[in-house]
Chains A and B, each alone.
Chain A
Amino acid sequence: MYPRSVSKNRGAGRTGEAGKRAGGWLAPSLLALFFLAQCCYWSVLCLRNLNREFAFSFSSPLPGFAFRPEVVRGLLLIFLFLFVANLAANLAGSEMTRPEWDLEWLAALPIPPPALIGARIIEKALTNSTGWLVFLPLSVVTSWFAGWGVLSFLLGISATLFLLFTLSLLELLLEFFLRRTLPAPQLRNIKALGSIFGVIFLYLALSMCMPAGHGYASFLYSWILHTPGALLYSPSGAPVGLLVHKRRGGVMYSFVWALVLLALESLIVTGVVRAILQKGFVMGGSRESGRRRKSVPARNPDRAPRFFAWFDAIQAKEVKLLLRDRNFMAQTMVLPFVMIGAQLLFNRGLVEAASRHSSYMAILAFGIAAYTLMFSAFQSLGVEGGALWLLYCFPQPLERLILRKSRLWAGIALIYSIAVFAVGIGLHGLWSRETMYRMTLVLMAIPIYALIGSCLGVFSFQPLESLNTRRMRTSFLYLYMFLISLFAYAIFVRGFWSRMEQIVLTALLSLALWQKVKDRIPYLLDPTAVAPAEVSLADGLIAAMLFFVIQGVVVLIGVRYGAKNIGFTQWLAFLIAGALTFGVFRLGYWRTKPGNIARFFDSGKSQGIGFGLAMGTAALGFGFVYLEMVAHLRIFSPQLRGLPISTGEPWLLALAVVFTPVFEEFIFRGLIYSGLRRTLGVGASVAASAAIFALVYPAPAAIPVFFLGVCAALSFERSQTLLAPVLVHAIYNAGILCIRHMS
């Protein structure tokens, strides 16, 4: 409804989300570069593994080839796997099941069919981004290893182009053939199968590209010995010939053969497609039909379906769609098993590790849940597709509906991950306190990641795009994958506090994203309007991170250039980090002018001063008692206990007492606390903001700083100006410095 309605009679400024999209190229290009680098690394590993695996075979390189015959066969096998994987994945991602087909109306234009088909082949080949990503690095690296130097780029690009064109021809043929012969439900089955086979073959290929020494892919290397060398003359193998030859003659010969093969394929495909075209484009109505009323046994209206009574209305709808949409079903329920199963199958070491270490088991349990969420929670809005308008007609906030969906998917993911733990504990008797901790951590993280996935899914969803394939921006999916991989760190880390830190930070991240989602949702279907600027928790978290990083860098530089007095350097670092972060954010807000930015002083609210003084004294008192306790109990090492002492320049210390509070209160109360308060109550906001405040300080100071954070947040809440917490902070700083000086 909306895409059409707003694009009716569109002028230049009305296209898509023209008004909303700015600077959207940087993140995707960075991601593309990252993946390209990753693929290059894998390619190098692949060749190294092959060379090492067959280093002791007695065969010598074939005449004219740069590698041993086993290595050539291995490469042929990998290219074949990648070829099949790419074909399957592209079929899965195609728009075959859409009733309307762009070629149908293109064919109605006065263009001769060969031109039409040719243009489609070229378009498909050149825009196959995963194809480029997969084949180009491997081809160039192979050619490089064969000793072609700079020329290997040219050879790599040629081989990739041959492969992409062959793939494109095959895809076109399959699409025409399948559309012509199969009804929509079966096309859906094929798509579902495609997504599963794509992953399996990708994993098969990848299993040969992993760091060696983990028992990877032992059985695949035995397959290589049975790989027929004749593959070199097949469509997927001919381009490999360009890369493995040592002499020019061999390369030329391979090039000519690949060209001949491609020409033959084109002839066959265009011939078949033209024959198909002569009988018309589609096999009549490609609509899926449900069942007719007559064929349904009369339903007893008094009997509510018991299964769906477990869910509320929107969850029940989601489950129904899941059970009926085979593609959705395969991706959400089957693919995670396939992916995890493939890892276990190819990586013998992993099975062993998982059966001995609870951390690997926890990784598996979290991994399977994360894959499930990637295809379900991430799609919370995506599955609504064109029917999203319905959700805007209900007296329920859309964000709450998304939350309920995310709860449903979290439940399903939890079942999967509990099953993994059950198998691990049941089969291998991995029951220990450490296992229990890790299990709790993973089970706590899954609902949080379901929410993060739902939020990122909302950002990636472009409801105004009319093409299904363009409705989801993949960069957010990659971001989600990145965040998921970060959690692996939390699983391996030891110690209660470090784990709590991870969970708290992840939960705060999900809250920050949730806030952004709530801001975005009212404007989701509006092509031009955006939410008015407001200070959010996300700003606060970014500011805290910036503060933390700059502070670390300054200390590092100080130590590098021989600063003797660590305590003094630390003070200086806080000051510089605070000033820079403060400046950057003030500049940003000066441009965006958010409505809810905290003010330092408000003449109408002078009672804040008294409250600030009282709270400051309380914080200082606590800090003093804590310092005494630490000194008596000898909890920390002597160096740490001496922090932050200073015999440095008094004027800089004065600056630290006056200005550090200004900068830090702006970040931790002005941004983080205000951001939290938009979504949470006073208690939770005070605790969470104080926790982040304590996190950026060195460990020994964490407890008094947490208390300082609580006092500052309370005085800010009370006075609604930043002056009060600045006073609290300044009194604390000055007091602690005095105490240190005197002792």
Chain B
Amino acid sequence: MIETFSLSKQYGDFKAVEDLSLSVAKGEVFGFLGPNGAGKTTTILMLMGILAPSSGRGAIGGLDCFKDRVEVKRMVGFLPDNPVFYDFLRGRELLEFVAQMHGFPFREAQRRAGTLLGELGLEEVSEEFAVNYSMGMKRRLGLACALVHDPEVLILDEPTNGLDPRASKEVQERLINQARGGKTIFLSTHLLDMAERICSRVGIIYRGKLVVSGSLDEVKSNIVSGGSLEKVFLEVTRGEEPMDAGK
């Protein structure tokens, strides 16, 4: 469902993502792991067609992520790492707006927004300006925006960042349910316990390069025998990799 072919992104001399090739099958929850600044967000922005790849390409459902970026959005829901909203739009209005922009008539948009606000526990604050929301509420509203058109693919940048334990658990359960319903989920995180709980496959990116990828068991058994995901993560991001980033 999601594929990248030698996807690379360079900012001047700095190689943010280098030669990234991976594929995520339909119905999978793919955890994209890596330390801060490894290139997770850059990859996600390229998948969303917001950044132009320096070379290589990404594809979702067979469509090119950059060239067909408008069409791709019909099947993709996106949550950025730091969702910013309009200063003067209430939570409910924002969600209705997003639904309308996805082509739903006003009444249908209203219905979908109402349902999602209830499900994500935002009913109480739905009439408040979205900029005033706390970090966790903003993230939940962002998630609602990503889910409102019921997309086949979800691309989520750090979906549980800033959520309290209960909200975090609810979001994770929701994601597992979505995947059971046949949705493909690509999420970036550095929370390893969450990755272990909900991801069917993971990839670890370090200094712009994919250093490991595979199912949880494969990854664990191949790198350190009998170790946890944390041990694998620490092992492959130790900094002894060839550090040609920046050259």
Known A320-B89, A393-B48, A397-B70: A4·B82 in contact at CB below 8 Å: yes
| Interface: B12 (CB within 8 A) | yes
Within 8 A of B (CB), among A1-34: 1-2, 4-6, 8-14, 18-19
Contact B128 A525 (CB under 8 A): no
Indicate whether A313 reaches chain B with its CB closer than 8 angstroms: yes
In the complex, are the beta carbons of B12 and A19 less than 8 A apart?
yes
B194 at the interface (CB under 8 A from A): no
Q: Mark B69-103, 1 if CB is under 8 A from A, else 0.
A: 11111101110111111111110010001101111
Q: Are A320 and B88 in contact (CB under 8 A)?
A: yes
Which stretch (A284-292, A557-565, A620-628) binds chain B? A284-292
Contact of A393 (CB < 8 Å), options: B71, B127, B145: B145
Q: B82 and A394: CB pair below 8 A? A: no
Known: A293-B123, A389-B80. A317 touches B37 (CB 8 A): no
> For B110, what are the chain A residues with a Cβ–Cβ distance below 8 Å?
301, 304
> Chain B residues near A288 (CB, 8 Å)?
87, 129, 131-132
B54 interface contact, C-beta 8 A: yes
Q: Which residues of A contact B82 (CB under 8 A)?
A: 1, 4-5
In chain B between 103 and 160, which residues have their CB closer than 8 angstroms to a CB of chain A?
A: 103, 106-107, 110-111, 114, 123-129, 131-132, 145-146
Q: How far does the Cβ of A6 sit from chain B's closest Cβ, in whole Å?
A: 7
Check B11–A6 contact: CB distance below 8 A.
yes
Contact call A287/B84, Cβ cutoff below 8 A: no
Binds B, one of A255-263, A475-483, A526-534: A526-534
User: In the assembled complex, which residues on chain A have CB atoms less than 8 Å from the CB atom of B41?
Assistant: 5, 8
Q: Which residues of A are found within 8 Å of B111, using beta-carbon distances? A: 301
Distance A2 CA – B102 CA, assembled complex (angstroms): 22
B69's nearest neighbour on chain A, judged by CB, is: A522
Grouping DSSP codes into helix (H, G, I), strand (E, B) and loop, the A interface class, with mixed when no group exceeds half, is loop
Chain A residues near B126: list those with CB within 8 A: 293
Given contacts A1-B82, A5-B41, A317-B86, contact A526 B128 (CB under 8 A): no
Contacts of A324 in B (CB 8 A): 88
Contact of A523 among B52, B74, B78, B84 (CB under 8 A): B52
Chain A: interface residue total (CB-CB under 8 A): 54
A304 partner, pick from B12, B84, B106, B146, beta carbons under 8 A: B106
Q: Cβ of A289 and Cβ of B12 under 8 Å apart?
A: no
Flag whether A390 is at the interface (Cβ < 8 A).
yes
Determine how close the nearest CB of chain B comes to the CB of A397; give it in whole angstroms.
5
For chain B, give the interface size range: 35 or more
Q: How far is the CB of B33 from chain A (nearest CB, A)?
A: 16
Which residue of the partner chain A has the closest CB to B77? A393
Q: Which chain A residue shows the least CB distance to B132?
A: A287
From B52, B71, B77, B87, contact of A325 by CB (8 A): B87
User: With A1-B83, A313-B101, A387-B84 known to touch, is A395 a contact of B11 (CB < 8 Å)?
Assistant: no
Confirm or deny: A386 has a beta carbon within 8 angstroms of a beta carbon on chain B: yes
Return A288 CB to nearest CB of chain B, in Å: 7
Q: Which of A288-347 contact B (CB under 8 A)?
A: 288-293, 296, 301-302, 304, 309, 312-314, 316-317, 320-321, 324-325
Closest partner residue, chain A, to B123 (CB atom): A293
Are A387 and B80 interface neighbours, CB within 8 A? no
Contact B87 A11 (CB under 8 A): no
Whether a CB of chain B sits under 8 angstroms from the CB of A392 is yes
Instruction: Kindly state the separation between the CA atoms of A12 and B103 in the bound complex, as whole angstroms.
Output: 42
Residues of chain B within 8 A (CB-CB) of A396 are 70, 101
CA of A101 to CA of B93, assembled, Å? 29
Whether A289 and B129, one on each chain, are in contact in the complex, defined by CB atoms closer than 8 angstroms, is yes
Give Cα A302 to B108, complex, Å. Answer: 11
Q: Which residues of A contact B90 (CB under 8 A)?
A: 290
A292 touches B50 (CB 8 A): no
Interface: B182 (CB within 8 A): no
Contact of B127 among A296, A302, A528 (CB under 8 A): A296
The reply to whether A290 and B84 contact each other, CB–CB distance below 8 Å, is no
Task: Indicate if the CB atoms of B129 and A1 lie closer than 8 Å.
Answer: no
With an 8 A cutoff between CB atoms, is B51 at the interface? yes
A376 to chain B: closest CB distance in Å? 15
Could you list which residues of chain B lie within 8 angstroms of chain A, going by C-beta atoms?
A: 10-14, 36-37, 41-42, 45, 48-52, 54, 66, 69-74, 76-78, 80-90, 93, 97-98, 100-103, 106-107, 110-111, 114, 123-129, 131-132, 145-146, 246
- Give me 15 A-to-B residue pairs in the complex whose CB atoms sit less than 8 angstroms apart, sorted by A's number: A1-B82, A1-B84, A18-B12, A19-B12, A287-B132, A288-B132, A289-B128, A291-B127, A293-B127, A316-B97, A320-B93, A393-B48, A395-B70, A395-B102, A527-B11
| Residues of chain A at the chain B interface (Cβ within 8 Å) | 1-2, 4-6, 8-14, 18-19, 287-293, 296, 301-302, 304, 309, 312-314, 316-317, 320-321, 324-325, 384-387, 389-390, 392-397, 522-523, 525-529
4 more contacts with CB within 8 A, not counting A301-B111, A387-B85, are A387-B86, A390-B85, A392-B69, A522-B69
8 nearest A-B residue pairs (beta carbon): A13-B12, A386-B84, A313-B100, A324-B88, A290-B129, A9-B37, A1-B80, A529-B52
